[in-house]
Amino acid sequence: MNELSASSRITYRAVMVRPGVTRRIRGLSDRALAWLFITPTIVLLLAINIFPLLWTIYLSFTNYRANRSNVPTIWLGADWYQSILTDPDIWAAMQVTAHFVIWTVVIETVLGFGLAYLIDKKFRGHGMWTTIILLPMMLSPAVVGNFWTFLYQPQIGLFNYVVAFFTGRAASSFQMLGDVTLSPWAIVIVDAWMWTPYVMLICLAGLRSIPDYIYEAAEVDRASKWRQFWSITLPMALPFIMLAVLFRGIENFKMFDMVNLLTGGGPGSTTEVASITLKRAAFESWRTGYSSAFAIILFVTVFGLANIYVKALNKVKSR
Amino acid sequence: MAEVEIVSVSKAFGKTQAVSGLSLTVGDGEFVALLGPTGAGKTTALRLIAGLEQLDSGSIRIDGRDMTAAAPADRDVAFVFQQYSLYPHLTVFENMAFALRAPTRRVAEADIRTKVQEVARLLHIETKLDNKATQLSGGQMQRVAIGRALVRSPSIYLMDEPLSSLDAKLRGELRLELKRIQVELGATILYVTHDQTEAMTMASRIGVIEGGRLMQIGTPREIYENPINAHVAARLGQPVINLLPAALFGSAPVGAATVGARTEHLTIARGSGDVSATVKRVEHLGDQSHLHLDLAGRPVVTLADPEAGFGAGDVVSLRLNKPLFFDANGWRVAA
């Protein structure tokens, strides 16, 4: 008797709870549910991306200084923009950045595609080689910056030793990070070392996407390996190569961490890429309004260039 | 155009024997179809002839010259792939001109233009020449793929199920066109298919291939009327030949274990007789009906005139009319 009443109570409860839960779930339309899921993301994006961007735009028209927040803020109009665009130091930094971006992208693309082309030949152990080649990419830029500082060390550095071994010059006769002509190349080498694997990975995906039977058709059509490369491999992998160039270009335009650790912009300002100039203005001179204006200029530049580039990329892809 | 002769060719992939001891001669101007189920080794045979795979043993002669070890480019063959295999970033014209533009061929640009336009007209794609290869429909893509082979005058055209990815209507159209073009050009074609209709309608000879071996080769009529074994018999004919124990019927020759009865071998009449069956299901196809019968627990499928008005549950009598007989191992036994 007791048992029976217990079991009937359980049944009763189950019946009571069920409709309540169902009704609560039913009460939400699909649209409401969708909003529920994306609202946190939207709020987060607004808070950490959109608001700071708008705030930076506002600050770029003022004399605001982050270390003197009690000084009344004065509206300056486009004064900062005018002085930045006419400042020879800024143009020097832009030139350093351009040198860095162009050379790293060129070297990484050529080497990355070359490596991908070799790996794609599927020789023995190509899987292991892929993993080994990808290692630098997995390291933190801070770690890379630190240990390349050691590799570039004139007395004990491995890099200098290897160059000395092959050229016969004394290892301590040159300083990769201390020489005004060598240091711009020193940062290019490190970035190429670290990010060539990334370009290789994207190119490899492109090469793997070309079906074998296209090559077989070309083989039967008497196309030489050379002609197969120029008329099949390269055009079909081109969208992937362009994508890799886009990613690396944008990344390196914003390059800060690795260069800051290796040279800090020196010697003098020979490796002072735009983001280091920006950091100095913002957090060493505390010229918040000025650096905000510079940041906006950089942002517009990258955004504009990337947009033109994506248009070209889409054109290539739709061929 | 030339004669192609392959002698006891074998090829294994790891432990799988794809082709074993295949011998076949395709005469000049002949259309030979290799018919067989998926995995029978048809495509491998074709790829061996093209040089896209290296054979383990045997020899291949094209136009009297030994090509066993030659590179695909030197064999002077044209290959039409199942997946079209067009160069996606090139136009239709460039796709078709691709082979002619090989430096070793030294064809003048004006001649290339004339030739491509001529073939394009033949295939009814002359208005598509400036389109990108990827902007075409499946049927058009396959025409371009065939056209790319036709612009050349190779020793032999090797075609690997070129129509299998098209819909039934288009397949029927292209089948007719391909045959017309073959006759017009006097082309030598080795054609791989699993579709018996394609083999029956286009080929001058059919080679039935099974498990990497060539079972039988002959004209479509020979293969259909005189199959050497039950495998070959089951490859041709719609609906598929009914293989029944010979004991079910009275008069079988000595050694016959199985009776192979196609529609034309069965005479059906209403009411019970010496051999009776029950109608299980009738599929109306319009001009004819598929009759699914139950003969002592065994399914029998045959065609019937829709006018005959058979329905499920009807009892019919079956009489054999010059059927095929096979022994216990499936080999043909003379009637």
Q: Is residue A72 situated within a structural domain?
A: no
Would you tell me which residues 48-77 of chain B have a C-beta closer than 8 angstroms to some C-beta of chain A?
Answer: 50, 52, 71-73, 77
Res. A9: pLDDT tops 80: no
The reply to whether A193 and A265 lie within a common domain is: yes
The reply to whether A140 and A247 lie within a common domain is: yes
Q: Which residues of B touch A214 (CB under 8 A)?
A: 85, 87
Decide if A76 contacts A61 (C-beta within 8 A).
yes
Which residue range(s) make up the domain with A47?
2-59
The minimal CB distance from A222 to the residues B73, B87, B89 is found for: B73
The reply to whether A114 and A216 lie within a common domain is: yes
Give the mean model confidence (pLDDT) for residues A187-198.
94
CB contact under 8 A, B98 and A224: no
Q: Decide which of A12 and B170 is more confident.
A: B170
* pLDDT for A270: 86
Q: Which residues of A touch B88 (CB under 8 A)?
A: 236
Q: Is residue A69 situated within a structural domain?
A: no
Q: Is residue A183 situated within a structural domain?
A: yes
Looking at this predicted complex, what is its ipTM? 0.80
- The share of chain B scoring above pLDDT 90, in percent, equals 27
Q: Is residue A65 situated within a structural domain?
A: no
- A10, burial (CB in 10 Å: exposed 0-12, middle 13-18, buried 19+): exposed
Q: Is residue A153 situated within a structural domain?
A: yes
User: Cβ of A78: how many Cβ atoms within 10 Å?
Assistant: 11
Q: Is residue A70 situated within a structural domain?
A: no
The minimal CB distance from B79 to the residues A220, A223, A235 is found for: A220
Phi, psi (deg, nearest 5) at residue A236: -80, -25
User: CA nearest B40: which of B214, B217, B209?
Assistant: B209
Domain end call among A28, A59, A90:
A59
pLDDT band for position A22 (cuts 50, 70, 90): low
Number of A–B residue contacts, CB under 8 Å:
57
Q: Is residue A73 situated within a structural domain?
A: no
The per-residue b/e assignment along A15-29, b for 16 or more CB within 10 angstroms, e otherwise, is eeeeeeeeeeeeeee
Res. A19: pLDDT tops 80: no
The reply to whether A54 and A201 lie within a common domain is: no
Cα–Cα separations (whole angstroms), residue A270 to A89, A122, A181, A184, B207: 11, 43, 8, 7, 76
Q: What is the CATH number for A97?
A: 1.10.3720.10
Residue with tokens 């394609």: B198
Q: Is residue A46 situated within a structural domain?
A: yes
* Domain count of the fold of chain A: 2
CB contact under 8 A, A219 and B52: yes
Q: How far apart are CA B88 and CA A253, in angstroms?
A: 34
DSSP assignment, residue B291? Answer: E
Q: Does A4 touch chain B (CB under 8 A)?
A: no
Q: Does A223 touch chain B (CB under 8 A)?
A: yes
The reply to whether A299 and A223 lie within a common domain is: yes
The reply to whether A55 and A95 lie within a common domain is: no
The reply to whether A137 and A39 lie within a common domain is: no
User: Radius of gyration over alpha carbons of chain B, in Å?
Assistant: 24
The reply to whether A148 and A292 lie within a common domain is: yes
* pLDDT for A317: 80
The reply to whether A145 and A232 lie within a common domain is: yes
pLDDT band for position A155 (cuts 50, 70, 90): confident
The reply to whether A84 and A55 lie within a common domain is: no
List domains and CATH numbers for chain B: 4-235 (3.40.50.300), 242-333 (2.40.50.140)
CB contact under 8 A, B87 and A220: no
Q: Please, what is the average pLDDT of chain B?
A: 88
Instruction: Give the three-state DSSP class for B61.
Output: strand
Q: Which residues of B touch A213 (CB under 8 A)?
A: 81, 83, 85
* pLDDT for A248: 93
Residue with tokens 């004399």: A63
pLDDT band for position A124 (cuts 50, 70, 90): confident
Q: Which residues of A touch B72 (CB under 8 A)?
A: 216, 219-220
Res. A1: pLDDT tops 60: no
* pLDDT for A229: 92
What are B113-125's pLDDT values in tens digits?
999 998 888 888 8
